[in-house]
Amino acid sequence: MEVRRHNAAFCSPCFLRHCREQVSRTVEAFDMIRPGERVLVAVSGGKDSLALWDILLDAGVDAAGLYLGLGIGDYSDASGGRARAYAEARGAHLVEIDLPADLGFDIPAGAAAARRVPCSACGLSKRHLFNKAAVEGGYDAVATGHNLDDEAAVLLGNVLRWDLAYLGRQAPALPAGAGFVRKVKPLVRLSERETAAYCVLKGIDYIVEECPMSAGNRHLGYKEALNAIEERSPGSKAAFYFGFLERVAPTMVAAAEEEREGLHPCPVCGMPTVSELCAFCKLVERAGGRPAGRPLRSGRSGPADPAAGRPL
Amino acid sequence: MEVRRHNAAFCSPCFLRHCREQVSRTVEAFDMIRPGERVLVAVSGGKDSLALWDILLDAGVDAAGLYLGLGIGDYSDASGGRARAYAEARGAHLVEIDLPADLGFDIPAGAAAARRVPCSACGLSKRHLFNKAAVEGGYDAVATGHNLDDEAAVLLGNVLRWDLAYLGRQAPALPAGAGFVRKVKPLVRLSERETAAYCVLKGIDYIVEECPMSAGNRHLGYKEALNAIEERSPGSKAAFYFGFLERVAPTMVAAAEEEREGLHPCPVCGMPTVSELCAFCKLVERAGGRPAGRPLRSGRSGPADPAAGRPL
């Protein structure tokens, strides 16, 4: 396995160790997970989130999975199946939330009703429900499988618009506070080629297809642009992302922190918001779904989670 | 002529007025040229620099051209011919410096001898000689034909490396000081499609070919990446570049200003440098050229320039 930006090639055992070391280095550098903490891993059934869950479990972290059923036809069925199969095989606890069953709407219809592009409605729902499930379940952190390619593409999008508040929130670890649990991205030192290879080598069955709703999405355009640049100059993405974190992000954190100051609990769901009703509850209302005030349903696989489903 | 980022289409006279207005708006906004000032326009024979010179002359600016012969075979012959023909037709003054004749080296050989990529040796030579010619000729400013596509691509390159000193110097007008004349880029509100159309409509014959040495250059890769993004979202480049100037550049100017503090005159050529010998004189030395201490040769077309060739 060749990793051009490190100018290195690995045999299988060394490659797996490389992946684990990149994750542990990231977790330590950004103080992401402390000993004894309970972590909720957002699991989509794709290579990144399953690799992340696997690496955390192998490292002895108390990590439960959270699968969010988006109601995107066959894609959701297949991705949920992969998440459940992995949890079953590992004997790990998987929390499940199903948008159609639990909240009465799905992403395609909800996005159309709310006049949002599907990726926007989906991202909003994920951010909201991951946080809500972690708060209600008493988890210390939500971990997501964003990799270096993802973060570099998000950074490029934010830089193209010079959105200072978004740029200030791009750190791989956002502290808890004001109704948010800590959010961490332990895979930011691994590319998507590496997480895919990790899963193949570990025999983890993941969903290969991209979400069918994401075609034409800007984020994919930013990824393509960066891939072309990385192809000419290996290491460009890492230099772009880590250079930002080291030299620029510290000057932009103030803008993101100011935003948190105006937050108060949403009267329907209790999650933090700056507007009267939070953006997710507005989406649910427009999509004709059920209000998300009550605690969410808990998981089916693995050991029972005593804290899951605990109301706020 | 359609300009998608402005969501507008123009007839010929309105398009020419649009170009002039974008330039005058830029010149005023950044205080680039004041009434009565003498401007030296860096003219390559391409669409951008000839359009710039034409717009400045039409606006009544006292603008001489400066053509730098790089010694790149047929390309230099053809580009010099376009610059001379335009000067002749307008009765405008063209200063000429020829690297092989005046300094005893050319870009291909000089770059190889100095172990620089050609675009690096060329950019260094241009920056140095434009400034030297302007200082010696008593000009108030050097104007270059960098357009929106150029500046957005340079910005992307600087952002990918988060080079704060370069980012601080990316403003379209850099003030005079410490041995530098003012440097201005009045075309930053026009895309290269617009400067090409301007030349076609005004009957200006420009060299269409890209420099043969530039193939594979990173800057072209950044342009391609941004073109793909602009194609999906017209206006992306302008939002990227002007968003940077408005919201971010002011915080980065300090880094660039600090750099100027350590400058002193190069003992060979008298131009400002931080090292003992300036980078251009080092290039000349390695390329086996003649030291650039003496005043440079003056132009051949148009009215005589009393200040040209004046020693420092």
Sorted by where each begins, the domain ranges of chain A are 2-207+215-253
Give residue for tokens 């490396």: B161
**For A76-83, what is the mean pLDDT?**
92
Interface size between A and B, measured as CB pairs under 8 A: 58
Determine the distance in angstroms separating the CA of A161 from the nearest CA of chain B, rounded to an integer. 6
pLDDT digits (tens, 9 = 90+) for A90-130: 999 999 999 999 999 899 988 888 888 888 889 899 999 99
A225: nearest CA in chain B?
A: B225
Distance CA A127, CA A111 (A): 15
For chain A, the first-to-last Cα distance in angstroms comes to: 46
- Are A164 and A255 a contacting pair, CB within 8 Å? yes
From the list B69, B59, B5, B2, the residue with the least C-alpha distance to B35 is: B59
- The number of angstroms, rounded, from the C-alpha of B171 to the middle of its chain's C-alpha atoms is 13
In degrees and rounded to multiples of 5, residue A101 shows phi and psi of -75, -40
Determine the distance in angstroms separating the CA of B249 from the nearest CA of chain A, rounded to an integer. 11
Chain A residues lying within 8 Å of B244, measured CB to CB:
162
| Confidence tier at A293 by pLDDT (50, 70, 90) | low
pLDDT digits (tens, 9 = 90+) for A174-194: 999 888 999 999 999 999 999
Chain B residues lying within 8 Å of A228, measured CB to CB:
221, 224-225, 228
- Are A161 and B243 a contacting pair, CB within 8 Å? yes
Chain B residues lying within 8 Å of A159, measured CB to CB:
159, 240
Residue A10 Ramachandran class (φ > 0 left, ψ -120 to 50 alpha, else beta): beta
CB contact under 8 A, A244 and B164: no
- pLDDT for res B294: 57
Instruction: For residue B137, count CB atoms less than 10 angstroms from its CB and return exposed for 0-12, middle for 13-18, buried for 19 or more.
Output: buried
From the list A116, A228, A8, A129, the residue with the least C-alpha distance to B228 is: A228
pLDDT digits (tens, 9 = 90+) for B92-118: 999 999 999 998 989 998 888 888 888
Query: What residues contact B203, with CB distance under 8 A and at least 6 apart?
Result: none
Tell me how far apart the 2 most distant CA atoms of chain B are, in Å.
55
State the angle between helix axes of B148-161 and B236-243 in degrees (0 to 180), rounded to the nearest 10. Answer: 60
pLDDT-above-90 percentage for chain B: 63
| Confidence tier at B256 by pLDDT (50, 70, 90) | low
- pLDDT for res A295: 57
Q: Which amino acid is at A113?
A: A
Q: Which amino acid is at B239?
A: A
CB atoms closer than 10 angstroms to residue B187 = 30
Angle at B57 between CA B51 and CA B59, to 5 degrees: 100
pLDDT at B311 over 70: no
A227: nearest CA in chain B?
A: B225
Total residue count of chain B as it appears in this document: 312
Q: Is the ipTM of this complex over 0.90?
A: no
* Closest Cβ opposite residue B225 in set A228, A243, A246: A228
From the list A187, A203, A186, A184, the residue with the least C-alpha distance to A195 is: A187
- The number of angstroms, rounded, from the C-alpha of A142 to the middle of its chain's C-alpha atoms is 8
Determine the distance in angstroms separating the CA of A21 from the nearest CA of chain B, rounded to an integer. 25
Give the lowest-confidence range in A52-61, A121-130, A287-296.
Answer: A287-296
Residue B37 Ramachandran class (φ > 0 left, ψ -120 to 50 alpha, else beta): beta
| Confidence tier at A169 by pLDDT (50, 70, 90) | confident
Alpha helices in B94-243 (DSSP H): 107-114, 118-137, 148-161, 164-168, 192-202, 218-232, 236-243
Give the lowest-confidence range in A50-59, A71-80, B59-68.
Answer: A71-80
Rounding to the nearest 10 degrees, give the CA dihedral for residues A168, A24, A238, B238. Answer: -20
CATH architecture label of B2-208+215-250: 3-Layer(aba) Sandwich (3.40)
Give the lowest-confidence range in A231-235, A254-258, B23-27, B305-309.
Answer: B305-309
Q: Which amino acid is at A46?
A: G
Chain B residues lying within 8 Å of A248, measured CB to CB:
162, 164
| Confidence tier at A217 by pLDDT (50, 70, 90) | confident
* Closest Cβ opposite residue A160 in set B221, B229, B248: B229
b vs e for B140-157, b when ≥16 Cβ sit within 10 Å of the residue's Cβ?
A: bbbbbbbbbbbbbbbbbb
CB contact under 8 A, B161 and A240: yes
From the list B62, B65, B67, the residue with the least C-alpha distance to B77 is: B67
CB contact under 8 A, B229 and A229: no
pLDDT digits (tens, 9 = 90+) for B142-156: 999 999 999 999 999
Q: Model's pTM, two decimal places?
A: 0.86
b vs e for A9-37, b when ≥16 Cβ sit within 10 Å of the residue's Cβ?
A: ebeeeebbebbeebbbebbeebebbeeee
Alpha helices in B244-294 (DSSP H): 249-261, 279-286
Q: Would you report the helix, strand and coil content of chain B in percent, each value rounded to 5?
A: 55, 10, 35
Determine the distance in angstroms separating the CA of A215 from the nearest CA of chain B, rounded to an integer. 13
- pLDDT for res B144: 98
- Are A211 and A126 a contacting pair, CB within 8 Å? no
pLDDT digits (tens, 9 = 90+) for B163-217: 888 898 889 999 998 889 999 999 999 999 999 999 999 999 999 988 888 877 8
Chain B residues lying within 8 Å of A247, measured CB to CB:
162, 164
- Are B51 and B199 a contacting pair, CB within 8 Å? yes
* Closest Cβ opposite residue B164 in set A164, A232, A247: A247
Distance CA B113, CA A203 (A): 53
- Are B77 and B225 a contacting pair, CB within 8 Å? no
Determine the distance in angstroms separating the CA of A168 from the nearest CA of chain B, rounded to an integer. 13
Give the lowest-confidence range in A72-86, B6-20, B244-258, B268-282.
Answer: B244-258
b vs e for A39-66, b when ≥16 Cβ sit within 10 Å of the residue's Cβ?
A: bbbbbbbbbbbbbbbbbbbeeebebbbb
Distance CA A170, CA A185 (A): 10
- Please provide the average confidence, as pLDDT, over all residues in chain B: 89
pLDDT at A35 over 90: yes
Q: Which amino acid is at B283?
A: L
From the list B86, B96, B161, the residue with the least C-alpha distance to B130 is: B96
pLDDT at A268 over 70: yes
pLDDT at A250 over 90: no
From residue A296, how far is each of A98, A101, A131, A268 by CA, in Å? Answer: 9, 11, 12, 14
- Are B50 and B78 a contacting pair, CB within 8 Å? no
CATH 3.40.50.620 for the A2-207+215-253 domain, yes or no: yes
- pLDDT for res A225: 95
- pLDDT for res B55: 98
B227: nearest CA in chain A?
A: A225
- Are B88 and B95 a contacting pair, CB within 8 Å? no
Distance CA A183, CA B28 (A): 46
